Amino acid sequence: MKIRVLSSDDVRQALPMKAAIEETKRAFSRLSSGRVEMPLRSRVHIPEQDGVLLTMPAALLDDGEMAVKLVTVFGENPIRGFPLIHAVVLVLDAENGRILSLMDGEVLTAVRTGAGVGAATDLLASPEAKSVAIIGSGKQAGAQLDAVCSVREIQQAWVYSPNPEHAQRFAQEMSGVGSIPKNVKAVSSSAKALKDADIVCTATTSTTPVISFEHLKTGAHVNAVGSFQPTMQEIDSETIRNALVVVDSRESALIETGDIVTPIKQGLITPEHIHSEIGEIINATKHGRSSQDQLTFFKSCGVAVQDAVTAAIALKNAERDNLGTIANL
């Protein structure tokens, strides 16, 4: 059996953000239309290491795309000098189940998560949005900034991290890259980042809120990608209570993320407070933003159909450009 093996550099070259955003819209549309096979991710917890192993399979029935991702998230890794996330993706032939490719999943996860935020920002943020606040300074934060700048003409970005050195390095490394403006500035608090931001992105592993409703600009759009367990919460409950809430998957959001589970437990909202899945807005069965002053919120749990469609892009482009290594197994 011959398979194409793609490194992180290969995936980075083969998976441009703008293409990932457009294909992610298709994935969300298919998900909300019921045209995918995608169970909830399975979890194996390693509590001694603050770790979890996730298994995420998906098949898009109308498009002949199938993949499975294995990803680990170990909370103590950054202080040990290891990446927070390790991941690999297997791309499979949907007609016969044959393995087509094994590719790095860390870059793919960052890009596909960013692409989900890019799709939601394109559909929910004010068309006039010019500024963004990034809370977090890791790979995921960089992908959020790249994605937002791919769908809006951003002129100013602020970044906050509890580690000032990390925020400063992020600002220096991201400034002027691609469509990202040169004006990327590290600030000393979340409140300072949020004060004038039209768009807000959070990409942290926090168990307590990193943004407060009182600090948000009127009419802001908020994207949150970090909370993937019920015990994790990036967004305060008042923000959720006051926002038009849109998710990638209702099923996942009501089970997996503290950003939604916590305000429900507090009695501030009910499950019906979730206005729609983002795919329903793409399919025009639900509306998006209704006014310039409306606060909108997108919760990205991260769904396996995103991995399947972005892996398909990466494999197609890698075959075209002869990237990677052919392995005989």
Output the DSSP codes for 108-169: HHHHHHHHHHHHHHHHHS-TT--EEEEE--SHHHHHHHHHHHHHS---EEEEE-SSHHHHHH
Is 117-302 the same fold as 2-109+305-328? no
CATH H superfamily, domain 117-302: NAD(P)-binding Rossmann-like Domain (3.40.50.720)
Residue 307 confidence (pLDDT) above 80: yes
The yes-or-no verdict on residue 228 having pLDDT over 80 is no
Return the pLDDT at 145: 96
Sequence-distant (≥ 6) Cβ neighbours of residue 30 within 8 angstroms: 36, 60, 61, 62, 63, 279, 305
Examine the pLDDT at 299 and tell me if it is beyond 80. Answer: yes
Q: What tokens were used for 99?
A: 């393995």
58 alpha carbon, distance to own chain's centre: 17
Average pLDDT over residues 77-105: 93
DSSP state of 280: H
Q: Mean per-residue pLDDT for 251-279?
A: 95
What are residue 200's DSSP bridge partners? 133, 222
Q: Band of the pLDDT at 270, cuts 50, 70, 90?
A: very high
pLDDT tens digits for range 117-128:
999 999 999 999
Give the chain's mean pLDDT: 94
For the record, the structure tokens of 96 come out as 């016969």
pLDDT in tens, 201-221: 999 988 899 999 999 999 999
Tens digits of residue pLDDT in 139-176: 889 999 999 999 999 999 999 999 999 999 999 999 99
Q: Is pLDDT above 90 for 102? A: yes
Q: How far apart are CA 241 and CA 212, in angstroms?
A: 12
pLDDT reported for residue 20: 97
Domain borders along the chain are 2-109+305-328, 117-302
The average pLDDT across 242-263 equals: 94
CATH superfamily of 2-109+305-328: ornithine cyclodeaminase, domain 1 (3.30.1780.10)
Distance CA 87, CA 106 (A): 5
